[in-house]
Structure 1
Amino acid sequence: MDSCLLFATELYALPILRPLAVAAQRAGQRVGWVVPESVAGYLRADETRLRSARAVRALAPQAVFCAANWVAPSLPGAKVQVFHGFNAEKREPDRGHFRLRGFFDLYCTQGPATTAPFEVLAREQRYFAVAETGWPKLDPLFAPTPDAPSLRPEDGKPVAMYAATFTESLSSARAMVDTLRVLTARGDRHWLLTLHPKCDAELIARYRSLEGPFARFYESDRLLDMLRAADVLVCDTSSVIDEFAVQLKPVVTLRNRRPKPFMLDVAEPSLVDAAIAAALSHPAALMQALADHAAAIHPYRDGRSSERVLAATDRLLTGGYGRLARKPLNLWRRWQASRDVRALLPD
């Protein structure tokens, strides 16, 4: 493989795909980005945005890496799914993480908990391959560069992070505003706050208003910096929980849809403060549950998942997974995907 395309339709895709871009360029490959205007402003000077179908054809990518659940079949190259998050179990399996849409040739899974179900689906459907690689987004978490920014304060106070799911019926964001206003002003902890970029603008403004000496609000492109800096996460039902937990750091959840042993789940915002204190004491049973969960969802701690994704893609391109069946037609879905990509890449 000598060139590849990174397909980033949302801001959250940048930290997922950037480690792949770095690994590909390190291997001597040419890399291009396809992004909408809402994401383009966040690209770095060395990240080449392709603005037309002609530019994509000139790059001639052998593979398209995608964090969203769709990609246009008309784009050249094998279609590789690297996922936008962990399986947060917001929906039933056939409507959530394991839902197939017929777009992808290869699924690069994060760990045993997702590999096994996708391997079952691959045997049933026969049109895609599965490789357990770990998640590229977490490479900088486990192997940060020497110049990686730190959001930790120097006064030694614990750092709490707050994040919420975008799914309104599961989100704690509105319920937590008043509680966070008290906790962030108290000064015994530092707070890092974020919301999904698609959240209501008024709600985001309310969270920005919580900024002060002990609290900062960051957009999702700084998520990895927040994950590295925080000692404890406060959340609800979001895949961010797993991104944090793989570091073996404790998580407090508010009304999680399916609480697990590694979470300290509470029913009301008023109980969050005490749960944070309990989490920061690192009880043995909780820490063992964290270790067991991390081993199931993402056992890779070497910061080299991107290299494994590239190797799996090379194997796909050279026929290493055997002959795959034709993808399902899904004409309506394909038409929608082609229409949407034409808006990003006019001829």
Structure 2
Amino acid sequence: MAEYLLFATERYALPILQPVADALQTSGQGVHAWLVGGAAGARLPAPVRMIADARAAVDLCPRAVFSAANWIPPFVTGAKVQLFHGFNVEKRAPARGHFRVRGLFDLYCTQGPATTGPFRELAHQAGYFKVVETGWPKLDPLFGRDDPLADRLRAAAGGRPVVMFASTFTRHLSAAPHLLEMIAAQIATGRCYWLLTLHPKCAPEWFERYRALAGSHAEFVETEQLISAQRAADVLVADTTSVVSEFVIQRKPVVTFRNRAPKPHMLDFDDPAVLPAMLERAFTPDAALTAALAAYADSIHPYRDGQASQRVIAATEALLAGELGNLRRKPLGSLLRGLQIRRELGYWGPAAR
């Protein structure tokens, strides 16, 4: 039995890693999780075994490390695999955002054509990592299996349309401060059932205010429940959060408030007062909007089989078997980044051999 390590620095990484854990366990492999930073104190359910610290991770000598963060501890043995913590929502310039490479990973498992092409070009230039398009493990639960939580949320709606609200934590992009009053007014009418959620890094005051809206017409859902909430909802109201892209994979309409890069598949608006009208448009999408939703979904994540985790594992094994070709030595800059990671994790012991 081989041992594998899952690595996360934020709570929102847990739903990304859990499907990979499930797939590894189904194949009889040993699965461990090392959660640091914003994810510290969280857990993945047994039989995943939790790693306490860097020393334990080094001693494990995993066959591969799967990361849903922007970085990965280079001193732990095994293939270093990037799973991504979200879609490219164009919050930053490409060199600083989704397409930034840091000299730490051996394999990038991309979500769909929109990211595969750019990363393959970067891999061709760099030579020290490979790229395989696998789909995104977080979305595996969207397709093909029962979801009791999604069923419960739909039942709570009592036949009413279900609207989900999600917001990023980035202050100048967040809709949470701007839409609170209008969303509260919509909830009070009882015409729709609302599922409310915020990025874990949002300010505590906004969590308090949105949690206070829960009642007979609304429920607040936690980060780990996002996929179920997306399955239950008919329409999403959001901003520039990557939840927009996740939701569109289902070909369901999205209403966005001041999105940084609005596109044809979004119903974007900038005046909170027009939210009710935007919802009406979303509930009755025209042919052009329906086509735009499908085209965008196919470009970022064409997979609807719920098998991305299995493809990630297969790609990792192909890398380890040398089937993807040789890798060049990582750049000198990665050594400095490795020292920074050691300092951040408080580990100055030897690397695994």
Q: If the length of structure 1 is used for normalisation, what is the TM-score? A: 0.95
- Partner amino acid, structure 2, of 1:21: A
Q: Deviations over 1:159-210 (max 9, x none)?
A: 0000111111111111111111111111000000011111111121111111
TM-aligned CA deviation for residue 75 of structure 1: 1.4
| Corresponding residue of 2:249 | 246
Q: Which residue of 1 aligns with 2:310?
A: 307
Whether the 8 Å contact between 1:72 and 1:334 is mirrored in structure 2 is yes
Match of 1:73 in 2: 74
Deviations 1:9-29 (A, max 9, x none): 110010000000000111111
Q: Does 1:293 align with 2:289?
A: no
Map of 2:90 onto structure 1: 89
Structure 2 letter corresponding to 1:129: K
1:226 aligns with: 229
Indicate the residue corresponding to 1:339 in structure 2: 343
**CA apart distance, 1:146:** 5.8
CA distance in 2, matches of 1:221, 1:342: 28
Structural mapping, 1:24-173, within 5 Å: 24-36=24-36, 39=39, 40-145=41-146, 147=148, 149-150=150-151, 151-152=153-154, 153=156, 155-173=158-176
* Whole-Å separation in 2 of the counterparts to 1:53 and 1:96: 27
Hey, what's the Cα distance between the residues in 1 that align with 2:199 and 2:340? Answer: 24
Identity among equivalent positions (%) equals: 53
Following the alignment from structure 1 to structure 2, what is the Cα–Cα distance between the partners of residues 146 and 253? 27
Task: From the superposition, tell whether residues 33 and 88 of structure 1 become closer, same or farther in structure 2 (CA, over 3 Å).
Answer: same
| Structure 2: gaps of 5 or more residues | none
Change (3 A) 1:116 1:65: same
Indicate if the aligned counterparts of 1:104 and 1:128 stay in contact, CA closer than 8 A: yes
Q: Is the 8 A contact 1:19 1:139 kept in 2?
A: yes
Q: CA offset at residue 342 of structure 1?
A: 3.4
Deviations 1:75-128 (A, max 9, x none): 111110000001001111111100111110000000000000000000011110
**Offset at residue 147 of structure 1 (A):** 4.8
Q: Distance in 2 between matches of 1:334 and 1:245?
A: 37
- Look up the SS of the partner of 2:95 in the other structure: helix
**Does the Cα contact within 8 Å between 1:114 and 1:297 map onto a contact in 2?**
yes
CA positional deviation for 1:325: 0.7
SS at match of 1:163: strand
Select the residue among 240, 251, 263 that pairs with 2:266. Answer: 263
Structure 1 residues 240-249 or 28-37, which shifts more?
28-37
Secondary structure in structure 1 of the residue aligned to 2:11: coil
Check 1:262–1:78 CA distance in 2 against 1; reply closer, same or farther (3 A cut): same
- Residue 284 of structure 2 is aligned to residue 281 of structure 1: yes
Q: Distance in 2 between matches of 1:31 and 1:42?
A: 13
Letter in 1 for 2:210: Y
Distance 1:37 1:242 in 2: 26
Classify 1:156/1:303 alpha carbon distance in 2 versus 1 (closer, same or farther; 3 Å). Answer: same
Give 3-state SS (helix, strand or coil) of 2:261's partner: coil
Equivalent AA in structure 1 for residue 144 of structure 2: A
Contact 1:185–1:212, Cα closer than 8 Å, also in 2 = no
What letter matches 2:36 in structure 1? P
The alignment partner of 1:99 has SS state of coil
TM-score of the two chains, using structure 2 as the length reference:
0.94
Quote the residue 2:322 is aligned against.
319
Structure 1 pair 231–311 and aligned structure 2 pair: CA distance change class (3 A): same
Divergent runs of 4+, >6 A: none
Q: Deviations over 1:45-93 (max 9, x none)?
A: 4331111344334432111000110111111111100000010011111
Report the CA distance shift for 1:91/1:41 in structure 2 as closer, same or farther (over 3 A).
closer
Between the aligned partners of 2:216 and 2:20, the Cα distance in structure 1 is 36
1:176 aligns with 2:208: no
Q: Distance in 2 between matches of 1:89 and 1:11?
A: 22
Give the aligned length: 347
Cα offset, 1:332, TM superposition = 3.3
